[in-house]
Amino acid sequence: MNDRLVIENLRVHYGRGPEQVEAVAPMSLTVPSGQKLGIVGESGSGKSTLLKAILGLVRPPGRVEADGIWLDGRNLLHLKPKEFQALCGSELAMIFQDPVSSLNPSFTIRYLFRRAFRLHQPELPRRDYEKRMAQALAQVGIEARGALDRYPFEFSQGQLQRITIALACASPRLKVLLADEPTASLDVTTQAQVLDLLDTLHTQLGFTLILVTHNLPVVAELCDRVLVMRRGHVVEDADVVSLFDNPTHEYTRHLLASMVTPRPVEPGRRS
């Protein structure tokens, strides 16, 4: 496995001087190709800020300092804005917590796809748009024929989250998918479906997944490796089985202890 995403000495801080708040303390991270990395922590731990920093979405007064963020050897910090824009949404894509507010309500699904293609895949000829929309939607189990001419409000939350995933995975060049709490605003049954979908797509498309969540069971189900963050610091970084078996950091143990879960379903029982 080659190293897909390499982050060196990334630091995010807000404000200046003595009142400066460090949202992400200096950290380095190497994510191999195809890995499913989970980042867990409570609100304010800096986990979402880390994702935003990778995508260049931290706004002033926030400041990102880093020696480099390399995607397959290219330093994202040194790209021209145009190059970076072409890369976002094609090689590097993100899905957000709330699908309703991440899709523009005044446009149809077809328009949203078109705009994504135009911005992020300029090399794609127009005549292929329809075909690619249908493919992308089929991947997430939504029939394009009924969906493309509808507006976001006409879908349920679970369907909308599928559509945002379809938009994010529409590019054949997708390398890294960043997901910020993609299931937090969904019902439990829908949440399970979206998790299964992410897992299936990961197997089919082979992207690297970085999943930010505060829900440890979700990480247990989906991820290979876990990063535990607290107050901007990475306190533990381990593969998922050893993290759940032998948490080394006090805070990880605390998080594991606060999981609210009934006994697991015994396999083979009922159904």
Which DSSP state fits 181? S
Report if residue 253 touches another protein, rule: CB under 8 A: no
Q: With 0-12 CB in 10 A as exposed, 13-18 as middle and 19+ as buried, what is 167?
A: buried
Residue of 148, 232, 240, 247 that binds another protein (CB under 8 A):
240
Report if residue 249 touches another protein, rule: CB under 8 A: no
According to DSSP, the residues that pair with 3 across neighbouring strands are 32
DSSP codes, 93-150: EEE-S-HHHHS-TTS-HHHHHHHHHHHH-TTS-GGGHHHHHHHHHHHTT--HHHHTTS
User: x/- binding map, residues 134-153, to another protein, per CB under 8 A?
Assistant: -------x------------
Report if residue 100 touches another protein, rule: CB under 8 A: no
CB of 200 to another protein, least distance (A): 8
Report if residue 34 touches another protein, rule: CB under 8 A: no
CA 90-43-230 angle, 5° bins: 95
Which DSSP state fits 34? T
CA 18-19-25 angle, 5° bins: 90
Closest C-alpha among 76, 85, 51, 45 to residue 229? 45
CB of 79 to another protein, least distance (A): 35
User: x/- binding map, residues 154-173, to another protein, per CB under 8 A?
Assistant: --xxxx--------------
Q: Which two tokens stand for residue 192?
A: 């399970």
Integer CA distances (angstroms), 100 to 117, 130, 186, in order: 20, 23, 11
Report if residue 1 touches another protein, rule: CB under 8 A: no
CB of 246 to another protein, least distance (A): 13
* CB nearer another protein, residue 1 or residue 188: 188
Report if residue 268 touches another protein, rule: CB under 8 A: no
* CB nearer another protein, residue 32 or residue 217: 217
* CB nearer another protein, residue 1 or residue 260: 260
Q: Which residues bind another protein (CB under 8 A)?
A: 42-43, 141, 156-159, 187-193, 195-196, 199, 214-218, 220-221, 223, 240-241, 244, 254-255, 258-265, 267, 269-271
